[in-house]
């Protein structure tokens, strides 16, 4: 059998994470190998090989001598224009047997979890297979042993920081679900100003209108290399980086993308995601904030307790000290919801401005207090006083600027082109806020893809409002998105529920 | 807001079932709508609208004024070159809430099942979402009520035959898993020769090397329109058509493609698939053959019993009379495995040739006997004699030719370009056959995509073989596929296990 090859060409098609290869159905490789549309093909070029999904091309998009690659395939294969490549049917992904076993009630073993995560990391899972894995883990379908196995496998799949000399390395995490709850940059600034090491990596938004990385990106560079992040932390004691750029637990981003497309949460997978990133960042002591409210991600004290246990047990199995605090999750935090709008809120707090949102400030101080105490920066019960002092003295703001400068310079967040004020249709008291609807509204307005998009809140629970009084302002970069958000609001007035007073 | 549109162009990219739209990231629609790679986009053109997955194009593949469509998108939208189309963020697929609910233990309701199947039928599920649905149904995760709901919904989503006048309409189905078990054309010919109505639709191969539709396609046209199928049945009393061409239970093909990619079976989904097609075909009495063997699809009498009950309960809930028979599934049936090779086997049986495979003939007669009795063509216990008489008299062969001629003419099945004989490496007795490995071997040789590909068996269980004696012959259209199958055989000698005799 003669070796059959094609020349690789970059088609410039962005299929997101899934590697796709494009071939003519009448090219000699498709014919001799008997390839079929949507089949899985192994591509070898030089020393590298990847598995890609085949899209069959019928027209003149490609010559018979060429195979086109999607952006993900191009990147994973490390290809150059005109490289020769050979193709064969991809062998079945063997670790899928563990996923199938799981569906029949067989828990993931350590070996199974490692095998699955290794294959996901190598891009061997198609989107359809990733979806089956995510679905098999969904709901509350992972026990604590399985969660620990997956967490460990996710850590092994990526790079890992070791800060040496056995020092305490603090971290914090918020389970999320609360729009505008952007305390992290404040906590990091105060902790680092007190000499603690806090190499903070954050995620981009998953289903929310902004992640901490999205907000920080409106202020400075967050895509740091592994080396650059180390340098920033060595210099300033802390950083505020995007986790995806340093390959800490890289499979997490792949899994999260599919969870997002399915709008599906897996408690076990979420715990694995959080803990694996903390371990990879070299943290030793982690504070976890779990907001609880009827429309927050965690809806009851009971669920919060279970999640706190899973986080603690998994973290401790991987050598971390974990402390959890349960906080009020009944309404958005601060005023802005969306990357830049949240950035303006946290700048006000850091700069001790008179109109800084008090709730954001209070939450940040409470979290910081616990971090300072865990990290040994002060005695127990002295954390809050120290946090306040550091903030009010301007040292936190100073440290925040130093971190941003180390990362590439502090910049001004952008302002949206379009705004629209939503007013109250009646007089009464703000009785309920729906975090999910408010988040969705900000997302539809364009957040986080459009940095300046989102909304600002003008009222809080318990406020008395008059008919015609502003409730929220929508911010958007595109007229279509503003309109889309307004349509959604018209269908979902429960975003802010005003209860009319009985006179 | 001004309406923003692009001109549609057919890119000729076959992404199989998933509709994909290709747009430049810097086109005015992407920019004004804030679209993102792999986002779900609603496309409206004329009176039609579809939901497609967005692949972002970076290079010169497309002009700024155009949006490219994949073949599936082109077909679903009914587009013509240069049609104007508008684009917006697709609303969330609401029926996914039922899939999520199922993962949290909430059984599918009638309303939920209908909503899901309707959305799948309309192409509103992305591959990732389809995979989540299939995974949620996998293993034994559907109870009988859920199975009935899904079956009914699948029937409603497609066309349905009504043969009128309250007559008995017979059908048969084999659960599968047994290579070469191609009894259907023989059963249909004998039943129709005895005046029964049997509008048989069959599937193409799912994970096997051939489905009945694949085999029949080597002999005649099987892609019949609804109208054509009706005409053939009115004239000959029966047909042997491909189910996919008449839109009976069309969602089934979509679901099966994903199950195949995941190599995942769902008992409930399988029952829904079988029964929905029978109901849609207008059948009233259905015989179901369940082969049982250690490497068949159903591995124990207990599992066969459970499956038989599920088929019967679901069928009866939809108004069918169901009879099940459990048959020997310990080895392949006949000699050929693969579309054309199986066609040659069944021609020999129909033509009463001396070298016709006796096991295929016997199985076909047993099934036919039950069908004749159910359909009232004879008294109880007289079916077998009638079936034999019809076959031996040549009336079955006559009827088979008449059906093929009505469908478009009888033709000669193709013969493969490459063959390779696999011989025994030792002397002994054929003690075990692995149906799965044998099926996979035939698939790797190119079946069913290459009609002539597959393998022929030269031995049966209990045969004594000498070292060097032929066990199987591989047939392939491409040298690469022959080689791939041989590699697989080298790694899986358990395909045919020869036990050495103790002398």
Helix (H) or strand (E) holding A400: helix A395-407
Residues of chain B neighbouring A261 (CB-CB closer than 8 A) = 38, 126, 128-129
What digits encode the pLDDT tens for the residues B56-84? 998 778 888 999 999 999 999 999 999 99
Residue ranges, chain A, pLDDT below 70? 1-3, 502-503
Inter-chain touch A484–B261, beta carbons under 8 Å: no
User: Per CATH, the architecture of B170-247+265-407 is what?
Assistant: 3-Layer(aba) Sandwich (3.40)
Mutate one of A1, A9, A11, A13 to test the B interface: name it (highest B CB count within 10 A).
A13
- Among the CATH numbers 3.90.1310.10, 3.90.1170.30, 3.40.50.261, 3.55.50.30, which is that of B418-499? 3.90.1170.30
Query: What distance in Å separates the CA atoms of residue B456 and residue B391, rounded to the nearest whole number?
Result: 24
Is residue A265 flagged as an active site residue?
Answer: yes
What digits encode the pLDDT tens for the residues A299-333? 999 999 999 999 999 999 999 999 999 999 999 99
Q: Mean pLDDT over residues B133-138, rounded?
A: 94
From B253, B265, B313, B463, active-site residue: B265
Angle at A467 between CA A466 and CA A469, to 5 degrees: 70
Q: Check residue A2 and give its pLDDT.
A: 46
Residues of chain A neighbouring B12 (CB-CB closer than 8 A) = 57-61
Nearest to A132, CA basis, from A258, A235, A14, A247? A258
Among the listed ranges A406-410, B296-300, B396-400, which one has the minimum average pLDDT value?
A: B296-300
What digits encode the pLDDT tens for the residues A184-208? 999 999 999 999 999 999 988 877 8
Helix (H) or strand (E) holding B286: strand B285-292
Query: What distance in Å separates the CA atoms of residue B328 and residue B294, rounded to the nearest whole number?
Result: 10
Inter-chain touch B450–A34, beta carbons under 8 Å: yes
What digits encode the pLDDT tens for the residues B214-233? 999 999 999 999 999 999 99
Q: Check residue A119 and give its pLDDT.
A: 94
Q: Mean pLDDT over residues B453-470, rounded?
A: 96
Angle between helices B267-280 and B301-317 (to 10 degrees): 40
- Among the CATH numbers 3.40.1030.10, 3.30.450.70, 3.30.300.20, 3.30.70.270, which is that of A170-246+275-407? 3.40.1030.10
Q: Check residue B2 and give its pLDDT.
A: 46
Mutate one of B1, B5, B14 to test the A interface: name it (highest A CB count within 10 A).
B14
Identify which of A33, A128, A140 has the shortest CB distance to residue B262. A128
Inter-chain touch A446–B34, beta carbons under 8 Å: yes
Inter-chain touch A478–B34, beta carbons under 8 Å: yes
Identify which of A129, A263, A449 has the shortest CB distance to residue B262. A129
Residues of chain A neighbouring B132 (CB-CB closer than 8 A) = 131-132, 134-135, 262, 264
Residues of chain B neighbouring A449 (CB-CB closer than 8 A) = 34, 36
CA-nearest residue to A40 within chain B is: B261
Listed in sequence order, the residues at least 6 apart from A337 whose beta carbon sits closer than 8 Å to its beta carbon are: A179, A180, A209, A210, A438, A439, A442, A447, A454, A455, A456, A457
Inter-chain touch A261–B25, beta carbons under 8 Å: no
Q: Check residue A61 and give its pLDDT.
A: 84
Q: Check residue A480 and give its pLDDT.
A: 84
Inter-chain touch A14–B56, beta carbons under 8 Å: yes
What digits encode the pLDDT tens for the residues B229-241? 999 999 999 999 9
Q: Mean pLDDT over residues B263-281, rounded?
A: 91
CA-nearest residue to A58 within chain B is: B12
The CATH classification number of B96-156 equals 1.20.970.10
Q: pLDDT confidence of B1, banded at 50, 70, 90?
A: very low
SS3 B249: coil
Query: What distance in Å separates the CA atoms of residue A369 and residue B380, rounded to the nearest whole number?
Result: 85
Q: Domain limits of chain A?
A: 5-89, 170-246+275-407, 418-499
Q: What is the mean pLDDT of chain A?
A: 93
Quick count: other Cβ atoms within 10 Å of Cβ A220?
23
Q: Which fold has domain A5-89?
A: Barwin-like endoglucanases (2.40.40)
Residues of chain A neighbouring B478 (CB-CB closer than 8 A) = 31-34
Helix (H) or strand (E) holding A40: strand A40-45
Q: Mean pLDDT over residues B365-381, rounded?
A: 97
Identify which of A13, A15, A449 has the shortest CB distance to residue B34. A449
A135 min Cα distance to partner chain B (Å): 6
Residues of chain A neighbouring B70 (CB-CB closer than 8 A) = 55
CA A301 to chain CA centroid, nearest Å: 24
Mutate one of A35, A38, A94 to test the B interface: name it (highest B CB count within 10 A).
A38
From A55, A253, A265, A463, active-site residue: A265
Mutate one of B128, B445, B477 to test the A interface: name it (highest A CB count within 10 A).
B128
Please state whether the peptide bond connecting residue A448 to the residue before it is cis, i.e. omega within 30 degrees of 0: yes
Identify which of B1, B14, B31 has the shortest CB distance to residue A55. B14
């Amino acid at each position: 059998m003669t070796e059959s090859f094609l020349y690789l060409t970059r088609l410039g098609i962005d299929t997101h994470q899934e590697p796709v290869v494009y071939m003519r159905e009448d090219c000699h490789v498709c014919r001799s190998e008997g390839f079929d549309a949507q089949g899985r093909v192994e591509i070898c070029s030089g020393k590298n090989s990847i598995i890609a999904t085949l899209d069959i091309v019928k027209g003149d998009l490609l010559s018979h001598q060429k195979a086109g690659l999607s952006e993900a395939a191009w990147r994973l294969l490390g290809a150059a224009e005109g490289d020769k490549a050979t193709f064969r049917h991809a062998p079945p992904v063997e670790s899928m047997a563990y996923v199938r076993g799981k569906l029949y009630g067989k828990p993931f073993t350590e070996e199974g979890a490692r095998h699955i995560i290794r294959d996901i990391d190598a891009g061997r899972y198609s989107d359809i297979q990733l979806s089956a894995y995510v679905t098999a883990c969904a709901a509350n379908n992972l026990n604590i042993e399985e969660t620990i196995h997956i967490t460990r496998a996710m850590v092994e799949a990526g790079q890992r920081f070791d800060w040496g000399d056995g020092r305490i390395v603090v971290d914090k995490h918020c389970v999320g679900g609360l729009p505008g709850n952007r305390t992290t940059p404040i906590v990091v600034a105060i902790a680092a100003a007190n000499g603690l090491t806090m190499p903070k990596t954050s995620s981009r938004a998953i289903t929310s209108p902004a992640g901490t990385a999205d907000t920080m990106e409106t202020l400075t560079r967050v895509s740091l290399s592994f080396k650059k992040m180390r340098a920033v932390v060595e210099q300033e004691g802390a950083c505020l980086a995007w986790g995806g750029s340093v390959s800490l637990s890289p499979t997490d981003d792949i899994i999260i993308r599919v969870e997002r497309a399915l709008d599906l949460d897996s408690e076990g997978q979420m715990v694995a995601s959080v803990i694996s990133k903390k371990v990879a960042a070299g943290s030793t002591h982690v504070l976890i904030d779990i907001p609880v409210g009827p429309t927050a991600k965690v809806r009851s004290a009971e669920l919060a307790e279970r999640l706190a246990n899973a986080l603690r047990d998994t973290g401790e199995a991987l050598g971390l000290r974990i402390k959890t605090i349960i906080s009020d999750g009944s309404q958005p935090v601060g005023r802005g919801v969306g990357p830049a709008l949240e950035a303006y809120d946290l700048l006000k707090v850091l700069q001790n401005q008179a109109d800084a949102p008090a709730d954001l400030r209070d939450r940040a101080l409470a979290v910081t207090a616990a971090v300072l105490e865990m990290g040994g920066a002060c005695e127990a019960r002295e954390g809050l006083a120290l946090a306040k002092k550091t903030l009010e003295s301007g040292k936190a703001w100073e440290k925040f600027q130093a971190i941003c400068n180390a990362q590439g310079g502090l910049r001004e967040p952008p302002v949206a082109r379009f705004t629209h004020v939503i007013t109250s249709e009646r007089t009464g008291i703000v009785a309920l806020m729906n975090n999910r609807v408010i988040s969705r509204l900000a997302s539809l307005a364009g957040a986080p893809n459009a940095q300046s998009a989102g909304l600002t809140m003008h009222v809080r629970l318990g406020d008395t409002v008059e008919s015609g009084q502003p409730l929220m302002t929508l911010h958007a970069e595109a007229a279509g998105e503003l309109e889309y958000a307004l349509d959604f609001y018209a269908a979902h007035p429960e975003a802010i529920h005003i209860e009319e007073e009985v006179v």
